[in-house]
Amino acid sequence: MKIRLNRGPVRWWLIVFGLFLARPGLGTALVGTGLVLLGSAMHLWAKGCLQQNRQLTVCGPYRWSRNPFYVGNFCIDLGLCLFINNWYFTAIFLVVWALIYRLQILSEERTLDGIYGEAWLQYKRSVSAFFPYKRPFKDVPAEQGFSWGNPNLAQSRELPRLIRTASYPLMLLFAGGLWVHGREFLAGSAAMAMFCLGGVVALQVLATGLKRQLHGRTPILPGFLKQPYVQIPLVVGYLAGLALIGKGGVYAPKVLLPIGLAMLAFGFYAVRRRQKEPTMRWDAFAWSSALGGAAVLAGMPWLGMLAVAAALAICIDSHIAPAFSLAFPSFETAPAEPAGNFWGGRRLPSQYLLFTLLTLAIGVSKALAGASQRVG
Residue 29 belongs to a domain with what CATH number?
1.20.120.1630
Which residue range forms the structural domain that includes residue 127? 10-135+146-154
pLDDT > 90: percent of the chain: 25
More confident residue, 248 or 135: 135
The pLDDT assigned to 304 comes to 82
| Same-domain status, 97 and 206 | no
Q: Considering only CA atoms, which of 31, 5, 192, 220 is closest in space to residue 102?
A: 5
pLDDT tens readout for residues 336-346: 444 445 545 55
Residue 178, domain member (yes or no): no
Of 131-145, 198-212, 342-356, the one with minimum mean pLDDT is 342-356
The pLDDT assigned to 51 comes to 83
Q: Over range 289-296, report the average pLDDT.
A: 87
| Same-domain status, 150 and 211 | no
| Same-domain status, 218 and 358 | yes
The pLDDT assigned to 175 comes to 92
| Same-domain status, 228 and 338 | yes
Residue 174, domain member (yes or no): no
Of 16-20, 67-71, 223-227, the one with minimum mean pLDDT is 223-227
The pLDDT assigned to 75 comes to 96
> Which are the contacts of 181, defined by CB distance < 8 A and separation ≥ 6?
188, 189
| Same-domain status, 87 and 212 | no
Residue 186, domain member (yes or no): no
| Same-domain status, 223 and 360 | yes
pLDDT tens readout for residues 298-354: 888 878 888 888 888 877 777 654 433 333 344 444 444 444 455 455 566 677 778
| Same-domain status, 24 and 122 | yes
Cβ pair 320, 330 in contact under 8 A:
no
Report the Cα–Cα distance between both ends of the chain, in Å, rounded.
73
Residue 241, domain member (yes or no): yes
| Same-domain status, 150 and 202 | no
| Same-domain status, 245 and 371 | yes
The pLDDT assigned to 322 comes to 40
Judged against a pLDDT cut of 90, whether residue 148 lies above it is answered with no
